[in-house]
């Protein structure tokens, strides 16, 4: 079953749309999906042209395609547990919050908090991601716990903050403090970053570009070999963050 949602023209197109109800399982079970335009509740067809193709008997057979002016749509895929969402352009904040299964494909850029506190499933962003990608929200002590997040472009500050499980791959650069407070999981940064993994206690981070302002609270622990993008890489290995008695592993390309 394929559900195509194309945004309708709006008088005030910059007003954000809160759309946590846009998840595959809802299109199988409900026909009264509601979203918010600013502080006003709307029926889904007030804001989208809706086209449905084919049947489905379970949520994992449902594919939702978002197209049009999608950059202001927030919370798409929140608590998603099956199926697939394809965003043909950009997407707003909090995409994939708490998702536990299924797949989200973003053809453009993603705003902040992509994959926030994700439990499972897969998110692929073909553009750039904003700040706090795969992180925990304010006050939370655990961020992403499972699944995979892959960003083909760059990501902002605090990527994978409080990462506790799963795998996060940023093929481009990250901003400041990626992997800060990491508890577990794997963070891969293909480009440069600044002050990686401050106060980490567990998990593994690999930086294949330059780690600027490298923190002094990591201890050299030899050299390791690995492969990234089909190429053999020699990595300086560090243990830490010793400021927090950490047992994390930080690998930085030689």
In a domain, 13, yes or no: yes
Q: How confident is the model at residue 43 (pLDDT cuts 50, 70, 90)?
A: very high
Same domain (yes/no): 160, 202: yes
Question: Residue 241: is the preceding peptide bond cis (ω within 30°)?
Answer: yes
Which domain, by its residues, includes 49?
1-108
- The whole-number average pLDDT for the span 151-160 is 98
Q: How confident is the model at residue 236 (pLDDT cuts 50, 70, 90)?
A: very high
Same domain (yes/no): 99, 36: yes
Same domain (yes/no): 12, 79: yes
Whole-number percent of the chain with pLDDT over 90: 95
Domains: count for the chain: 2
In a domain, 135, yes or no: no
Per residue in 85-124, pLDDT (tens digit) is 999 999 999 999 999 999 999 999 999 999 999 999 999 9
Same domain (yes/no): 174, 248: yes
Q: Which DSSP helix (H) or strand (E) runs through 29?
A: helix 24-29
- The whole-number average pLDDT for the span 216-222 is 96
Same domain (yes/no): 22, 87: yes
Side-chain half-sphere CA neighbours of 132 within 13 A:
18
**Token representation of residue 98:** 């708490």
Same domain (yes/no): 151, 229: yes
pTM for the complete prediction? 0.96
How many helices and strands (H and E) does the chain possess? Answer: 2, 19
In a domain, 249, yes or no: yes
> What is d(CA 149, CA 124) in angstroms, rounded to the nearest whole number?
6
Q: What is the pLDDT of residue 232?
A: 95
Residue 9 DSSP symbol: P
In a domain, 239, yes or no: yes
In a domain, 123, yes or no: no
From residue 13, alpha-carbon distances to 72, 82, 103, 157 in Å are 8, 30, 27, 28
b/e 177-207 (16+ beta carbons within 10 angstroms → b) = bbbbbbbbbbbbbbbbbbbbbbbbbebbbbb
Same domain (yes/no): 94, 147: no
In a domain, 120, yes or no: no
């Amino acid at each position: 079953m394929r559900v195509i949602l194309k945004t309708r023209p709006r008088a005030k197109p910059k007003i954000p749309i809160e759309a946590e109800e846009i998840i595959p399982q809802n299109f199988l079970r409900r026909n009264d999906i509601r979203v918010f335009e600013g502080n006003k509740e709307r029926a889904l067809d007030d804001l989208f042209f809706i086209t449905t193709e084919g049947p489905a008997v379970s949520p994992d057979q449902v594919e939702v395609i978002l197209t049009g002016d999608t950059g202001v749509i927030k919370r798409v895929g929140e608590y998603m547990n099956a199926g697939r969402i394809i965003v043909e352009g950009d997407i707003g904040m909090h995409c994939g919050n708490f998702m536990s299964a299924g797949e989200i494909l973003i053809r453009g850029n993603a705003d902040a908090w992509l994959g926030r506190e994700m439990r499972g499933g897969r998110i692929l962003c073909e553009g750039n991601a904003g700040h706090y990608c795969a992180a925990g929200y304010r006050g939370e002590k655990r961020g992403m716990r499972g699944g995979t997040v892959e960003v083909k472009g760059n990501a902002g500050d605090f990527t994978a903050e409080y990462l506790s499980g799963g795998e996060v791959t940023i093929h481009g650069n990250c901003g400041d403090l990626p992997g800060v407070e990491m508890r577990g999981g794997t963070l891969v940064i293909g480009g440069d970053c600044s002050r990686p993994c401050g106060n980490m206690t567990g998990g593994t981070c690999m930086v294949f570009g330059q780690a600027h302002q490298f923190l002094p609270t990591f201890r050299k622990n030899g050299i390791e070999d690995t492969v990234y993008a089909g190429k053999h890489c020699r990595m300086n290995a560090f243990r830490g963050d010793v400021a927090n008695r950490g047992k994390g592993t930080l690998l930085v390309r030689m």
